[in-house]
Chain A
Amino acid sequence: AQSVTQLDSHVSVSEGTPVLLRCNYSSSYSPSLFWYVQHPNKGLQLLLKYTSAATLVKGINGFEAEFKKSETSFHLTKPSAHMSDAAEYFCVVSDLSEGNKLVFGAGTILRVKS
């Protein structure tokens, strides 16, 4: 069975400082991994995805994530936080042979202080 563990339920950063949201995955085969973002009263939006191509994946709004098989990690980073980045972020794993059945982590709420 696949699963993801988001290591922090809440992260607080100051505007202009780096963001690091941590995610570890468990999968018996080469996984497909994603980060989705959920702004208040908005639908979930795909931020970026890894599907066994380049291990460093760039997404929207300056976010990127690095797939590290040896550490079973897929951490999300951004060099400089913006107030508009405040949202809940979900790390997601999927066996794409089963269609689009996604397995979500519990989420990390990112707070950006001015």
Chain B
Amino acid sequence: DAGVTQSPTHLIKTRGQQVTLRCSPKSGHDTVSWYQQALGQGPQFIFQYYEEEERQRGNFPDRFSGHQFPNYSSELNVNALLLGDSALYLCASSSAVLRNTGELFFGEGSRLTVL
């Protein structure tokens, strides 16, 4: 049973560029959340998707956008990259049953470096 998978694992971009990160949820899960973890800090909630719609959003600018596909996989897009966007981006999945339990299954993350 594959857990949450994310790609790419590492990537380097320059300021002003755009990036797309991808996530496949754990088998049987339909809800995907994205978190940003800056160096030395705890993860911060970006947004959550289920039924192909953004359901909740954290305190992140519109440069951060997402999408969920019919197979429940998800993408995180960041436009006009800033140096401060350098972080580990974590995808977490849950099922409808787990949606309001706080029990999330996390991937290993995509480490983005912006130069």
Residues in A lying within 8 Å of B, measured CB to CB: 32, 34, 41-46, 49, 51, 90, 92, 94, 96-107
Contact = CB atoms under 8 A, between A and B. Distances in A.
Contacts of A102: 35, 43, 45, 102, 104
A99 B55 contact: yes
A92 B102 contact: yes
A26 B106 CA distance: 25
Contacts of A49: 101-103
B94 interface: yes
B16 to A, nearest CB: 29
Contacts of A99: 31, 48, 55-56, 99-100
A43 B100 contact: no
Given A32-B102, A44-B43, 4 more contacts: A43-B106, A44-B90, A98-B56, A107-B40
Interface of B: 3-4, 31, 33, 35, 40-45, 48, 55-56, 58, 90, 92, 94, 98-109
Given A44-B43, A106-B42, A101 B104 contact: no
A74 B82 CA distance: 36
Nearest to B33: A100
Contacts of B58: 101
Contacts of B48: 99-101
A94 B103 CA distance: 11
